[in-house]
Amino acid sequence: MPAAPSADMSKLSPDELANDVASPYTWRRETAKRMLIDKKATQVATKLNKMLSTNIDQYAAINILYTLDGINQLSSSAIDTALRHEKSSVRIQALQLADKRFNSNPELFEAALKLSNDADPIVQLQLAMSLGRGVRVLHVQQNLAAGAAAGNLLATRHLRDRGLKRLGEEPDIAVAKSSGIGGERQAGVVAGDPPATHQVCSAERTSISLTATLRSRVTM
């Protein structure tokens, strides 16, 4: 096994740090990301995007996405690439980064909707949550209806197919519904009413527990 690289990364150039964003060593990936963000090293965006477009592993891909986001260089094209990554973990993170862009980028919204048939139920759960966070600020009536329908259908179908209780009957699924598309908010938005201010449950705060709970049920 090759020796680990030096822990001193202080003298590395932005270009070298960009390489380490995809390092096989977790501590090195994270350090490179932090240093590039601290330096506001926007000049590495082109290189990072090229790295993302290759057949890169899930850990590197996710780190690249958040590095680009941290230096304010995350493009819709990069998110679209990540939405099509072979690893579901990358697709989930891409959805979390995509939802705030649905309002200004209908093409990205349509790309996200394609994941309603994703093989991984956790990706579909994240899509339901992302649709709720992003769709509520869309002003295109057709997309509002499409997003609401997709969110409810995908969540209900996977619960039904696995013999689980229907959407909203379980506490953790109710959280996903209320933090995504659900109930009175859905009806108000689709009807064209201005969305009220809601305390939306953060996907970042709930995704770990939701993922663990749903995976345990799916594998029962």
What pLDDT is recorded for position 104? 85
CA distances from 130 to 2, 93, 112, 157, 177 (A): 41, 11, 9, 17, 11
Which residues make Cβ contacts (< 8 Å) with residue 120, sequence separation at least 6? 88, 91
Per-residue pLDDT at 171: 45
Q: What does the domain layout of the chain look like in residue ranges?
A: 108-220
For residue 208, the model assigns a pLDDT of 43
Question: Which residue carries 């939306």 as its tokens?
Answer: 200
- pLDDT the model gives residue 156: 53
Per-residue pLDDT of the chain (220 residues; tens, 9 = 90+): 567 777 889 999 999 999 999 999 999 999 999 999 999 999 999 999 999 999 789 999 999 999 999 999 999 999 999 999 999 999 999 999 998 898 888 899 989 999 988 999 999 889 988 887 765 544 444 455 555 555 555 555 554 454 444 444 444 444 454 445 443 333 333 333 333 333 333 333 344 444 444 445 444 4
Query: What Cα–Cα distance (Å) separates residue 134 from each residue in 32, 143, 174, 180?
Result: 30, 11, 18, 9
Q: Which two tokens stand for residue 54?
A: 């290759």
In the prediction, which pLDDT does 43 show?
98
- How far apart are the two ends of the chain, measured CA to CA in Å? 39
The pTM for the full model equals 0.68
Q: What is the pLDDT, as a whole number, of residue 85?
A: 96
Q: What pLDDT shows up at residue 154?
A: 53
Joined tokens for residue 94: 């891409």
Cα R_g (the chain), whole angstroms? 19
